[in-house]
Structure 1
Amino acid sequence: MTSLVLLDQALRLHDNPLLWYGARADGTAGEQRLVAVVCLDKSAFFSKQYGLARASLLRLQQQLQLISGTKQALARFNIGLVTLFGEPAAEISRLAMQLQASQIVAASPTGYREQQTLAKLSDRYQVTTIDVNSLLGTAALTPELSRLPDSFSAFRKQREPLLQVAPAVATYQPQPAQQWLTPEQSSVFYENFHQLAAFSQPSLPPGSDEQHALQRLDDYIWQQHAISHYKSSRNGLSGDYYASKFSAPLATGCLSARYCWQQILQYEQQIEANESTYWLKFELLWREFFRWQFRKYTNAWFSKHAIKGPLDFSPPTLTKARQEHFNNWCAGTTGVPFIDANMRLLNSTGLMSNRGRQNVASFLIHDLGVDWRLGAAYFEQRLLDYDVASNWGNWAYIAGSGNSGERQFNVIKQALSYDPEGDFVRAMLPELTAKGSLIHQPAAEVKVPEHWRNWLAKLTEKKL
């Protein structure tokens, strides 16, 4: 029997049950040929939604870099990686027919598109899914979707204080019972992936692979002990250690959430447990919550009202004025320095701090009156740590269409709290020359909301 093992959501060798599929330590498994496969979804990287490109060149290059790194890592075990490009269900079906495969093994999907792909494949093939990217990925821990709380607090209380997490499996080692297609045998199936050659030269720095993800985890937790101050530093806007920066490798699947969790537990047991170590686990639990919410409500998250109100998938509409506002927000030219600095950071690096994300989202939705889905779509295009559940779930959260009431931030108050001397804004907007906190003064053409006025007055005070 031939089985295709889809690694799209798990481009790693550590804690990857997909790679162990069918393996038996004693070599007693029946005859089985395994084929490692990655399919780059053409629509997810080259199509548009609401008139916006779905992915930036940086995000595409990051994915190509990940695939290349995984291919090299697997080759060390004489495992080939078949790389496909196109519509996933069609490309995988074509490969299955060529290899006479009867089974497809894949990561349990979170996003609606991935769910639909596996549903199509299950009409013709036996599809087996393994939840390789969830903290609660074993049958004993899996939440019952019909009883899943829509409130994070209720979800957390269900699981705490003794939160159990599925154990990570060992880093993959070759097993005698497994017969993988070799790199030489796999090479004949690369015929449509060559179309991406023009995009393969990365313009982003090295680091988007499993090796660098594990190095970052070790450095942040064990070498720098930066986890010990995570709670107090996590609202920073830039720098190397204000946050863990695990989000991108977690989103792309080259870092296991379970392995990350267990490293935190080991640190707590061997070094110290404090509010900061707990808070990093708390953030991983937020990620988990959104993953299960997406499995519960599927495509409702792309409705205008998300999980609240009637389903409405009609595209966002903008007046001429709001279209201009949105364009300026995307470009980082709104005239509000704190917003523009964060957006220019996003555009140049593909990343933004959590504090920045909340503020630019609130500003777009509540101060500019733009449909939240446009902001979510722009973040999907730009973020190197794009994760469908975390991105769309958090945008709906700020808008009040998701798992809470709306969240509106006072941008000037936030700027004074988290960039009091304007150092971050000054670094991102070198054209601004105002001294100290005065750099947060909006441009003359900006229509100032009433709730900003008291905080704008503080810009001229000598002591903030």
Structure 2
Amino acid sequence: MTSLVLLNGCLRVDDNPLLSQARGKAAALVIIDQQAYFGRQYGLFRSNLLRLRAHLQAIQHLAQQLAQRQIGLIIRFGDTHSQLCELALKLGAEQLLASEPTAPDEYRALQHLPASVKLQLIDGNSLLSQQLRPDLATLSDRFTSFRKKLEPLLLVTAAEPEHTRAANWLSPDQVAGLSQQSVLQQWLGQTAATSWREGCWDEGSAHARLHYFIWQGQHILHYKDSRNALCGTDYASFFSTPLSLGTLSVRRCWQQIEQFEQQVKANDSTYWLKFELLWREFFRWQMRKYQARWFSKNGIAGPADFSSPRLTATQKQRFAAWCAGDTGVPFIDANMQLLNQTGLMSNRGRQNAASYLMYDLELDWRLGAAYFEQRLLDYDCASNWGNWAYIAGVGNSEARAFNPIKQALWYDPNADFVRQKLPQISAAGKAAHRPAPHARLLPQWRSWLDEL
């Protein structure tokens, strides 16, 4: 029997059940989905070059790691479903092993395969053991209920050691004629990052960051206190990018945290990082439960409405200014500039940028979610759309509006972050948070503006 092993979403050798469970003759492949990176939604491209390059670097590193083990990686670009059907025909494949999706378009790509191809889905990116797999029909829509039900029982599936020899893998030479390797260099260019410090998140860089944050620097011990910072290298784990790419196993991540707690110290911060991983898990199962409803204007809280946002000329100007980091509200603009320049934004920044778009600019929340999809290096469909719907009050929570002036004074009291990202602002101290003349001012800001 010949198997296709689709490694999309699992771009790693460590703890990869797709590699360890393959049997017989097997071909490893990755498909760069054309629609996911070059398609449009609401007039916006679904990705930018920075995010595409991060994905391609991860694929390139995986190809090198597999080649060292005499496993060839077929790299294809195009429509995932069409590419799978074409390769299944060429190789006479009778089985397709793939990571269990969360998003609707990922499910669609794996449907209606040739009748001769049996599909086997393996959830290689979940914390939960098969015994704790939630029943979607009874899955709670509240995170607290989800967490309280699981935490007393939580048996995170153990990370697997590397094991790639069970299958008779096609070698690099055997797949050379099937692979579109030139795609990598076409978009990667000659200036690719080489470590997590430079913005590279391949498997090697992901493990280096894991070791640095937990063991070497022990920054995990202050995570709960520092996570509301706005920029830097040590205030947050930055595990979200390799987790979204699949270059880091969430089980390995959990295991390392627990080992640190047992061998060094456990505190509120070490627990809080696991708490955040449970949030990620929750959104994955929520996406599976409601599927396309997450892209409705009313989210999962009201009637399905998939009509595209309709903007007046004024609203178009507001949205363009928000995207460009030119709203005139320094705290918002600094965070948007950070996103545009690096593909990253702190959790505190994301909440404020989202709230500002929805409640202060009065724009459809889906526009913001789509722009974040385009820009975020750690874009994960379930977490991104789930969190935006959460702030909008159409997901797993009531509406969450933030006052950006109040937030700026709390989390950037001396405006150091604002002046770093907006060097054109010369005002000293907290006065740098004063909105520009063209900013849209709201009555609820008045008392906080008085402090500037």
TM-score (normalizing by structure 2): 0.97
> In 1, distance between residues paired with 2:192 and 2:410?
31
Structure 1 residue matching 2:28: 3-state secondary structure = strand
Contact kept, 8 Å, 2:26 with 2:168, in 1: the verdict is: yes
Instruction: Give a deviation string over 1:134-156, Cα, whole Å, max 9, x none.
Output: 101x3211000011000001111
Aligned to 2:8: 8
Q: 2:369 aligns with which of 366, 376, 401?
A: 376
> In 1, distance between residues paired with 2:438 and 2:89?
62
Is 2:22 the counterpart of 1:34?
no
Deviation at residue 119 of structure 1 after TM alignment? 1.9
> In 2, distance between residues paired with 1:411 and 1:194?
46
Structure 2 residue matching 1:268: 3-state secondary structure = helix
> In 1, distance between residues paired with 2:108 and 2:278?
26
Percent same amino acid at aligned positions? Answer: 54
Aligned to 1:28: none
Which amino acid letter does the alignment assign opposite residue 346 of structure 1? L
Aligned to 1:134: 126
Contact kept, 8 Å, 2:3 with 2:93, in 1: the verdict is: yes
Contact kept, 8 Å, 1:141 with 1:166, in 2: the verdict is: no
Is 2:251 the counterpart of 1:261?
no
Residue pairs, 1:23-172, within 5 angstroms: 32-121=24-113, 125-136=117-128, 138-172=129-163
Aligned to 1:458: 451
Q: 1:199 aligns with which of 187, 205, 210?
A: 187
**Cα RMSD for the two superposed structures:** 1.2
> In 2, distance between residues paired with 1:441 and 1:53?
33
Deviation at residue 300 of structure 1 after TM alignment? 0.7
- Stretches of structure 2 lacking an aligned partner (at least 5 in a row): 195-199
> In 1, distance between residues paired with 2:31 and 2:51?
16
The 3 A distance-change label for structure 1 pair 78 and 305 is same
Deviation at residue 417 of structure 1 after TM alignment? 0.5
Deviation at residue 125 of structure 1 after TM alignment? 1.7
Which amino acid letter does the alignment assign opposite residue 38 of structure 1? V
Instruction: Give a deviation string over 1:327-377, Cα, whole Å, max 9, x none.
Output: 000000000000000000000000000000000000000100110000000
The 3 A distance-change label for structure 1 pair 349 and 310 is same
Deviation at residue 444 of structure 1 after TM alignment? 1.5
Deviation at residue 160 of structure 1 after TM alignment? 1.9
How many corresponding residue pairs?
447
Q: 1:297 aligns with which of 290, 295, 307?
A: 290
Deviation at residue 123 of structure 1 after TM alignment? 5.2
Aligned to 2:441: 448
Which amino acid letter does the alignment assign opposite residue 362 of structure 1? S
The 3 A distance-change label for structure 1 pair 149 and 369 is same
Deviation at residue 203 of structure 1 after TM alignment? 5.2
Contact kept, 8 Å, 1:61 with 1:202, in 2: the verdict is: no
> In 1, distance between residues paired with 2:341 and 2:293?
31
Aligned to 2:220: 227
Is 2:170 the counterpart of 1:178?
no
Q: Which 4+ stretches in 1 moved above 6 angstroms?
A: none
Structure 2 residue matching 1:34: 3-state secondary structure = strand
Contact kept, 8 Å, 2:85 with 2:114, in 1: the verdict is: no
Structure 1 residue matching 2:384: 3-state secondary structure = helix
Instruction: Give a deviation string over 1:136-193, Cα, whole Å, max 9, x none.
Output: 1x32110000110000011111112342211111123x42x420000000111024x5
Instruction: Give a deviation string over 1:18-68, Cα, whole Å, max 9, x none.
Output: 101145xxxxxxxx2010010000011111111001101001111111111
TM-score (normalizing by structure 1): 0.94
Which amino acid letter does the alignment assign opposite residue 200 of structure 1? L
Aligned to 1:354: 347
Indicate the larger mover: 118-127 or 318-327: 118-127
Contact kept, 8 Å, 1:230 with 1:279, in 2: the verdict is: yes
The 3 A distance-change label for structure 1 pair 204 and 418 is farther
Aligned to 2:385: 392
The 3 A distance-change label for structure 1 pair 162 and 359 is same
> In 2, distance between residues paired with 1:451 and 1:66?
45
Aligned to 1:26: none
Contact kept, 8 Å, 2:5 with 2:22, in 1: the verdict is: no
Contact kept, 8 Å, 1:61 with 1:203, in 2: the verdict is: no
Structure 2 residue matching 1:40: 3-state secondary structure = strand
> In 2, distance between residues paired with 1:123 and 1:309?
38
Which amino acid letter does the alignment assign opposite residue 290 of structure 1? F
